Structure 1
Amino acid sequence: MGYPDNVLANDEQVVLHRHPHWKRLIVPVLVLLVASALAAFGAAVVAETDWDPTAKQVVQLVIAAGWLILVGWLTVWPFLTWWTTHFVITDRRVMFRHGLLTRSGIDIPLARVNSVEFRHGLADRILRTGTLIIESASQDPLEFYDIPRVEQVHSLLYHEVFDTLGTEESPS
């Protein structure tokens, strides 16, 4: 489990490590496909014209530069953002890390978790994703969006919280 190992305490164990749901990548993939098709079509149209070879080359370079900017901004950047976002549950805490150039994150000790909720609409239910809401002792509720299999994560986190607390309410 590559990422979280470098931030764990000596005897801390990862229980769950997830990236956001793949639904976040649907629009970037569609942008890649449409932009590539349009750029290829534009380059083919320019190649068939009877313009001066230098003019053709300049227009094709403009098409290629536009494609690179569009794909970089609307496809590569969202993918890298998705790839560098981590939701991790250990036997001691919940960690959320995100960001590519500027990283940020939050750690919530399991002993400080008051309640765990989840929310998902029809589309999220079909895609098996949703929003996990964690309320801790000292903060407003934190919402983590697009958590894959949110109901399982909710149940797992509930069990971990009560196992950590060692209360009689523990579902074990």
Structure 2
Amino acid sequence: MAISRRLLNEGETVVVDTRTHVKALLWPLICLVILLAVGTYAQTKIDNGTVTLVIWILLACLAVWFVLRPLVVWATATYTVTDRRLITRHGVIVRRGHDIPLARISDVAYEFGPIDRLLGCGTLVISDASTHGQVKLHDIPHVEETQRKLNELLHGTNDAAAGHEGT
């Protein structure tokens, strides 16, 4: 489980716990292949060892920025739906989080294009009663199933709230 149990309230249970689809790592992987190809080409064509070393150091810096950084960002971002709230956490050095109580969520929709459908992911669009209006969670795996589970929770929450009002 990606979220720590200590962040959950007593009696709160996790319904969906996910992170961004691995599709987010496609471009960093392509960058890594290109950087390695450039380094290998430079090493075979340049006879000067110092110049080759400088090129490899430059390529290593580029790899940290274009490959390692997106990997760490992907690994540290989590999206969790419990029976009480939606919890988002992201950030490496500075952790940021956003919690939305289920009672404040007014609509859950999803969007996905042809590539998203092919890969089984999409964007979950959550409308709430706050000043932010909408929260978009990009590249969520099994987005239709996640939207269905969230709607089931919302209808259960709304039904429970309606039952308390009538008594």
Query: Is TM (by shorter chain) over 0.5?
Result: yes
Distance 2:60 2:93 in 1: 20
Distance 1:168 1:106 in 2: 23
Distance 1:115 1:4 in 2: 27
1:145 is the counterpart of 2:145: no
- Give the equivalent residue in structure 2 for 1:165: 158
Displaced runs of 4 or more, over 6 A: none
Question: Taking structure 1 as reference, are residues 168 and 106 closer, same or farther at Cα in structure 2, changes over 3 Å only?
Answer: closer
**Higher deviation after alignment, 120-129 or 24-33:** 120-129
- Give the equivalent residue in structure 2 for 1:26: 26
Distance 1:168 1:108 in 2: 17
Helix, strand or coil at the partner of 2:100: strand
Distance 2:104 2:116 in 1: 28
TM-score (norm 1): 0.87
The percent of aligned pairs where both chains have the same amino acid is: 33
Higher Cα radius of gyration: 1
Aligned residues: 161
- Give the equivalent residue in structure 1 for 2:165: none
State whether residues 4 and 88 of structure 1, in contact with CA within 8 Å, keep that contact through their aligned partners in structure 2: no
Distance 2:43 2:89 in 1: 41
**1:43 alignment partner AA:** Q
- Give the equivalent residue in structure 2 for 1:36: 36
**1:70 shift after superposition:** 0.9
- Give the equivalent residue in structure 1 for 2:55: 63
**Higher deviation after alignment, 131-140 or 62-71:** 131-140
Question: Taking structure 1 as reference, are residues 2 and 132 closer, same or farther at Cα in structure 2, changes over 3 Å only?
Answer: closer
TM-score (norm 2): 0.89
Distance 1:37 1:138 in 2: 48
Gaps of 5+ in 1: 50-55
Helix, strand or coil at the partner of 2:23: helix
Structure 1 residues 102-153: Cα deviation after superposition (integer angstroms, max 9, x where no partner): 2212101111111111111222111111111111123312111111111001
Distance 2:9 2:60 in 1: 42
5 Å-filtered alignment, 1:89-128, equals 89-128=81-120
Helix, strand or coil at the partner of 2:11: coil
Distance 2:87 2:2 in 1: 14
Distance 1:157 1:4 in 2: 20
Gaps of 5+ in 2: 163-167
- Give the equivalent residue in structure 2 for 1:13: 13
Distance 2:3 2:41 in 1: 41
CA RMSD of superposed structures (Å): 1.7
- Give the equivalent residue in structure 2 for 1:81: 73
Distance 1:98 1:2 in 2: 11
